[in-house]
Amino acid sequence: MNYVLESVVEAERLETQNKNELYSVEEELKGIEFSNGEKIIDIGCGTGAVSAEILKKNLQVDLTAIDISEIRIQQAKNLLPTYYKDMIKFQCLDLMDDTLPENSFDVVISRFVLHHLEEPLQMLISMKRVLKPGGRLIIIDSDGILHNYFCTDQWLMDCLSRIKEGMKLDMYIGRKLKSYYNYIELENIDVKMIPMHFKNESLTAEVNQYRERFSIMRDFFIDLLGQTDTDNFFSLYLKYLEKDSAELFYNKFVAVGHKI
Ligand SMILES: C[S@@+](CC[C@H](N)C(=O)[O-])C[C@H]1O[C@@H](n2cnc3c(N)ncnc32)[C@H](O)[C@@H]1O
């Protein structure tokens, strides 16, 4: 996924995405409390949406934000207001290198990262490793992105099936979080599901997101479909959404679990 990580326009895409109310971080974190003095790490921080939401509550938390992409860290520093930026310790690193000390954070939080990975379970194990005993793992991720789409064009639907079969990334990670949390032996697990049904302005905004995603991930699709089918797939997928003649919906899952 290096082309996504290194893409300069990816930061702009993330910022625009977070403005769509269906992607509201505030709603995702509703009911989840953070306390003064907690040591928190935001993994795969991107442009800092999760860190900013935590700091919005005016808490005195000890907040670290890491991302594997140096470009993304720089963009987060450029985009965040100075006050937030000064409150966050940024580090550019791959969590799966396991270089952070074990048992060191009260809260590990990560949003929209696992579906980008070929080995999400390994990432969850690395996340648990840095949690203190008693600490909380909070994962926010989607389920059905790209694939929960229907239109009557059989060629397009067949293309979607080919993509699903060939893709190594897990676009259905959301529904698996509870089971994965159990597998890695977290306790007091609580999972909330938030439906995302794209209509009117939210649909227009998501169509623009797909335009960006397709452009950033073009090579990835060409590997799966070849060049001609990729071009046709992109143009038809967008066309039916623009005509409001295709259905598009996913779910977001917010999973909280505790390390014993
Ligand atoms: C879709 S973005 C989400 C950004 C942000 N959390 C948000 O919700 O807007 C995924 C981020 O995860 C980062 N990432 C992917 N693999 C990572 C890893 N192994 N360690 C740290 N960051 C990683 C990427 O560089 C990217 O910025």
| Entry pTM | 0.95
Sorted by where each starts, the structural domains of the chain and their CATH numbers stand as: 2-144+168-197+250-259 (3.40.50.150)
For the chain, list the strands marked E by DSSP.
39-43, 62-67, 88-92, 105-111, 131-143, 149-150, 186-197, 247-259
The reported pLDDT for the residue numbered 225 is 97
Q: List the residue whose alpha carbon is closest to atom 17 of ligand 1.
A: 68
Q: What is the pLDDT of residue 58?
A: 80
Residue list, ligand 1 pocket, CB within 6 Å: 5, 14, 18, 43-46, 49-50, 66-69, 72, 94-96, 111-113, 116
Closest residue (by CA) to atom 27 of ligand 1? 46
Residues β-bridged to residue 66: 43, 91
CA of 243 to the centre of ligand 1 (A): 32
Predicted confidence at residue 57, as pLDDT, reads 87
Provide Rg for the chain, Cα atoms.
18
**Residue 140: partners with Cβ closer than 8 Å, 6 or more residues away:** 25, 28, 50, 109, 110, 111, 112, 252, 253, 254, 255
Which pLDDT tens digit goes with each residue over 155-197?
A: 999 999 999 999 999 999 999 999 999 999 999 999 999 999 9
Helix (H) or strand (E) holding 84: helix 82-87
∠ CA 96-126-8, rounded to 5°: 40
- pLDDT below 70 — which residues of the chain? 1-6
Q: Tell me the C-alpha distance between 79 and 46, whole Å.
A: 11
